Amino acid sequence: MRVLAIGAHPDDVEIGVGGTIARHVERGDDVTHLIATDGAAGCRDPADARRDEAVESARTLGVEDVRFLEFTDTGLTDDGRVVDAIERHVTDLDADRVYVHAREDTHQDHRNCARATLSATRREGSVYAYETYSTRPTFTPRHVVPLTESHLEAKLDAIRVHESQTDKTYINDGTIRGLARVRGRQANRSFAEGFAVVRSIDTW
């Protein structure tokens, strides 16, 4: 399976879908991370540092292919330029499955990333929407990926690589682990990540 995980900022993919990425890599799937902005806003470190963290963090999960679109942090739109930029990678990779932010999100970059991806993936592939710290309570996961302790640890290790962000409480171990427990409980498992189903297509 060819998997494309899209995030507005350098740490979003790990926060939203990191455990599931660990599972995909374990299965032998081809995984690519696509990051729409450099995440420079509100960060004490230069944008280069966040890029490096994103590459290193992906490597922790076993993902070597990390791509950047270089739109402006906090100024991401859902207009044609963004749709075209995302669509080029979706088409290039012939992605079977795309993960992206949920549209129910209070951060405008996350919302616009979700909207642009919806247009960019209109021709192919399944699309699942992940949750982050700014996803609104109306988010309802209809698709659940159970995680083992080692998948969750891989996710936590990947998030820890984002050292420029470690003072942000929403990405500390307790918060991430707590949400994984809640989503796991809802599926009768120890841990899980939950996704909204944007489009689900069988691959057989």
Where does this chain bind Zn ion (CB under 5 A)?
A: 8-9, 12
For residue 54, the minimal CB distance to Zn ion (Å) is 11
Minimum CB distance to Zn ion smaller for 133 or for 184: 133
State which amino acid sits at residue 105: D
Minimum CB distance to Zn ion smaller for 23 or for 50: 50
| 102, 69 Cβ separation under 8 angstroms | no
Between CA 54 and CA 63, with CA 59 as vertex, the angle to 5 degrees is 100
For residue 12, the minimal CB distance to Zn ion (Å) is 4
By beta-carbon distance, which residue lies closest to Zn ion? 9
Please report how many Cα atoms fall inside a 13 Å half-sphere around the Cα of residue 143, on the Cβ side. 17
Among candidates 2, 18, 6, which has minimal Cα distance to 162?
18
Helix ranges, the chain (H): 12-27, 47-60, 80-93, 108-120, 149-160, 173-186
Minimum CB distance to Zn ion smaller for 106 or for 140: 106
For residue 115, the minimal CB distance to Zn ion (Å) is 15
Neighbours of 35 (CB within 10 A): 27
Minimum CB distance to Zn ion smaller for 19 or for 39: 39
For residue 178, the minimal CB distance to Zn ion (Å) is 19
For residue 121, the minimal CB distance to Zn ion (Å) is 19
Minimum CB distance to Zn ion smaller for 104 or for 184: 104
